[in-house]
Amino acid sequence: MNTETKPDVVKDASMLKQKEMIAGNFDKLTDAKELGLKISSTFVPGNLNELLMCFGIVNNLPEINALNNAMRKQSGPMIQDAEKMGHSEDVCTYVKADIGMMSRGNIAPNGKPMPDPDVLLLSYTGCYTFLKWFELLREQYKCPTVMLHVPYQGDGKAEITQNMRDYVIKQLKEEVIPTLEQVSGVKFDIDRLRENLKNSAKAEDDLVWVLESAKNKPSPIDAYFGGVYYIGPIFTAFRGTEDAVEYYRLLKGEIAERIKQGLGPVTPEGEVFEEKYRLVVEGPPNWTNFREFWKMFYEDGAVVVASTYSKVGGVYDYDGFRHDPDHPLESLADYCLGCYTNRNLPERTQMLVDYMEDYQADGLLVNSIKSCNSFSAGQLLMLREVEARTGKPGAFIETDLVDPRYFSPANIKNRLESYFQMIEQKRQSGAVAA
């Protein structure tokens, strides 16, 4: 059965709202020239949407384009195009999907060509590949490129030093803002930024409420597959907008209702859910076979109660960060510094352990992405550490983000099924021991 073409069964108001927001943004992007708008390409982790909005710049995120193409089964040929152009098989496929998309006319999901960006805002947060990616794009677009170097939280004390913060703020003040002023012709207005940040914080409160609703039993949400939809607006072009505030308000109301009714997560096939296994997942999802992958979970009653991928564009739950209108630039800096992959491995490990406990999970699943050294290098040790510290079983599967060649459904399904059996056995032996 091809679940990809099946229509969504449930369409909550929040879903419709998000759909409308995304479509509107793509239209804005593809019609930017006619509308007299400037476009910035920038990455999801460490994106400065509130700041870009101050200059009326529309935000285009190449990772989102790549994942959209993957979900529409178009990324495979794009990646192969890039490889034919001389890009190595061994490197991150997001980059190659983007380059391949460019060579095929940069067509947005609304069928219109995406105009060239006016500026590349290289928020260098949590991943080295970003640097090379935008150097490669700069070669093509020949547009201004501004680097925002966000230092990695390497020291293992869960601490952002004043030196790191000052460095980011200085770059914002002296490099990023002047470049955006120049590109847009709009003078920076810090009060406008404050307004946007106020909206961000409101939406962030509601997002955290939604993510934490997974502490309920049964969980009313899936925090990985479903989580992708929940983080969509806040991770992309909408953080800081009234629309995002409204979206999260609606979503919160809907989830509250589900809790009241004792319902599990919404799945692409509706309310078919019975919660048997509660999992924490580390690593990004696979996009080429997203629904097929998700189905392997809900078919067996596995719900993801917390995930780290849903923190890649900002961590709001774990240590309570919110964008702060009273400290606008400081909070932009702290936001960038705190994104999940900008935290070191000991911190990431502890975060997983805490999620396992706080969300009463049965186990940790690592979906290791071939493309992504930022996430993947070190995950085997993280898994063993989490198993040792929690006494709960873990499992490891391997896929890719947007390269369909690395999604092997039979293997993954086997691995997941034996993992669920393992959890079951562990439970029974635990019950006998008790």
Partner 1 sequence: MPVQEIIQRCEELFEDLSFSSVRAWKEAEPGRKVVGYMPIYVPLEIIHAAGMLPLGILGGGDALEVIHGDAYYQSYICRIPRSTVELGVTKRLDFVDGMLFPSICDVIRNLSGIWKLMFPDVYTRYFDTPQNFRSDIGGEFYVNDLRELVSGLENLGGRKISDDDLRASIEVYNESRRWVRKVYQFRSEQPWKVPASEVYLLMRAGQTLPVEDHTQMMKDYLAAVENEDRRMKDNCRVIVNGSFCEQPPLGLIKSIELAGCYIVDDDYMMINRLITEDVESEGDHLLNLSEAFIKHSMAFPSKFEPNGEVQGHYLADIVKQRGAEGVIFAAPSFCDPALLDQPMLANVLDERKIPYIAFQFAENSGQMQPIREQAGTFADSIKLWSAA
Residue type, 151: P
Per-residue interface string for the shown chain with partner 1, residues 23-62, x marking contact by CB under 8 A: ----------------------------------------
Size of the site for partner 1 (CB under 8 A): 56
Under the binding rule (CB under 8 A), the answer on residue 147 touching partner 1 is yes
Q: Which does 111 bind (CB under 5 to 8 A by kind): ligand SF4, partner 1, none?
A: none
In the list 68, 69, 75, 171, the residue contacting partner 1 (rule: CB under 8 A) is 171
Beta partners for residue 363, in sequence order: 279
Which of 4, 8, 155, 257 lies at the binding interface for partner 1 (CB under 8 A)?
Answer: 155
CB of 216 to partner 1, least distance (A): 32
Cα atoms found within 13 Å of the Cα of residue 171, Cβ hemisphere only: 19
Instruction: Indicate which single residue of 112, 138, 276, 413 sits in contact with partner 1 (rule: CB under 8 A).
Output: 138
Q: Which of 124, 235, 318, 321 binds partner 1 (CB under 8 A)?
A: 124
Report the distance separating Cα 4 and Cα 6, nearest Å. 6
By a kind-dependent CB cut-off of 5 to 8 A, residue 56 interacts, out of partner 1, ligand SF4, none, with none
Contact 371, 94 (CB under 8 A): yes
**Nearest CA among 271, 226, 279, 275 for reference residue 251:** 226
Which range touches partner 1 (CB under 8 A), out of 73-81, 131-139, 192-200, 207-215?
131-139
User: Residues 205-244 vs partner 1: string with x where CB under 8 A?
Assistant: ----------------------------------------
Rounded distance, CA 157 to CA 153, Å?
A: 8
**Nearest partner of 273 among 304, 252, 248, 230, judged by Cα:** 304
* Token reading at 202: 């409101």
Give Cβ neighbours of residue 20 (< 8 Å, ≥ 6 apart). Answer: none
The tokens for 105 are: 């006319």
Tokens at residue 58, please? 């529309």
Which amino acid is residue 282, in one-letter code?
Answer: E
Strand order across the beta sheet in which 277-282 lies:
302-307, 277-282, 363-369, 394-399
Give the binding site for ligand SF4 (CB under 6 A): 92, 94, 127, 129-130, 371-375, 401
CA–CA separation, 351 and 378 (whole Å): 15
Which does residue 15 bind out of partner 1, ligand SF4, none, counting CB within 5 to 8 angstroms by kind?
none
- Residue of 3, 15, 110, 149 that binds partner 1 (CB under 8 A): 149
Residues 352-381 that bind partner 1 (CB under 8 A): 368, 370, 373-374, 376-381
Q: Which residues pair with 399 in a beta bridge?
A: 369
Q: Are 366 and 396 in contact (CB under 8 A)?
A: yes
Q: How far is the CB of 99 from ligand SF4 (least distance, A)?
A: 12
Residue linked to tokens 């080429």: 288
Question: Which of 3, 94, 176 minimizes the C-alpha distance to 403?
Answer: 94
Tell me the per-residue interface mask from 72 to 101 with partner 1, x by CB under 8 A, - otherwise. Answer: -------------xxxx-xxx--x------
Cβ(274)–Cβ(300) under 8 Å? no
The one among 131, 242, 319, 418 contacting partner 1 by CB under 8 A = 131
Binding letters toward partner 1, positions 382-401, x by CB under 8 A: ---x------------x---
- What is the end-to-end Cα distance of the chain in Å, rounded? 43
Evaluate whether 348 touches 280 at the Cβ level (below 8 Å): no
CB nearer to ligand SF4: pick between 278 and 348: 348
- Judged by beta carbon, residue 94 or residue 355, the one nearer ligand SF4 is 94
Q: Between residues 100 and 265, which has the closer beta carbon with respect to ligand SF4?
A: 100
**Minimum distance of partner 1 from residue 141's CB (angstroms):** 9
CA dist 393 → 107, 156, 180, 224 (Å): 44, 25, 49, 19
Min. distance of Cβ 92 from ligand SF4 in angstroms?
Answer: 3
- 159 binds partner 1, rule: CB under 8 A: no
How many residues make up the chain in this entry?
434
Q: Whole-angstrom Cα distance, residue 430 to residue 424? A: 10
Q: How far is the CB of 94 from ligand SF4 (least distance, A)?
A: 4
Residues in the site for partner 1, rule: CB under 8 A?
85-88, 90-92, 95, 122, 124, 127-129, 131-133, 135-136, 138-139, 142, 145, 147, 149, 151-152, 154-156, 161, 163-164, 166-167, 170-171, 174-175, 344-349, 368, 370, 373-374, 376-381, 385, 398
